[in-house]
Structure 1
Amino acid sequence: MSLDKILSISGKPGLYQIVTQTRTGAVVESLIDKKRLTVGAHSNISILSEIAIYTLTEEVPLREVLKKIKDKENGKPTSISHKDGKDTLEEYFFEVLPDYDEDRVYASDIKKVVQWYNLLQTNDLLGDLEEEPTEESDTSEEE
């Protein structure tokens, strides 16, 4: 399962994976409790593969950030909790992504990334991080 099939839905906790698309939206399944729900096209949905983190020089795709966390933690859950304090979260994120833009990346964003990483790790979905960049290199050859 690639990050193209994993969603964050505004106003709902955790992450969801797309089960099937419908005429008016999609049926999704929570990675937390495996409950399914229907989301309409009007819902504010973010696909993880389209999210990036601001650094001082560029925007780093979330996939790259998750890969760095995975390397730091050797594929295990994070050593901190998403419920830890602002300073702890920022210190941890600085170790993972030293040049992240502290003015545009808030503690709440770091909290989400840590929580998402742990959800993906718990559901054994981190293996897909290695596979996805090959799609991008394939398209650059065609140009």
Structure 2
Amino acid sequence: MLWIVLAGLALGILAGMALPIVVPVSFAHYLSIALLAALDSVFGGIRAGLDHRFDGVVFVTGLVSNAVLAALLTYFGDKLGVQLYYAALFAFGFRIFQNLGAIRHLLLDRARHARRAGELAAGRGPSV
């Protein structure tokens, strides 16, 4: 399941680099917020998958609700003349880094566990 997500992410990045899509400057804030909302959901989904608690419904509803809330913050901020999208940028950025840290810890724990299991199977004691 994780490989499907990573393959889709890689294909999306490659398609975005290969296709000549021009985004008007007036939509740049909305696109940056949408991208961060998507990345937040993807990394949250990867973390949940590594924790063996991934739920597709939670993933999709989280993606949609994050995107809608961030778009509304950006829209109302534009109407009020206040850059409210910074709040969403900060929140999504913080959560992305939290999820990346948790993913790193989960992968390192799995690698350490597999190494210890291999050492025990080979008849050696676990190394520290």
- Which protein, 1 or 2, shows the higher relative CO under an 8 Å CA cutoff with sep ≥ 6? 2
**Fold match (TM-score > 0.5):** no
Greater strand proportion: 1
- Greater share of helix: 2
* TM-score of Structure 1 vs Structure 2, range by shorter chain: under 0.3
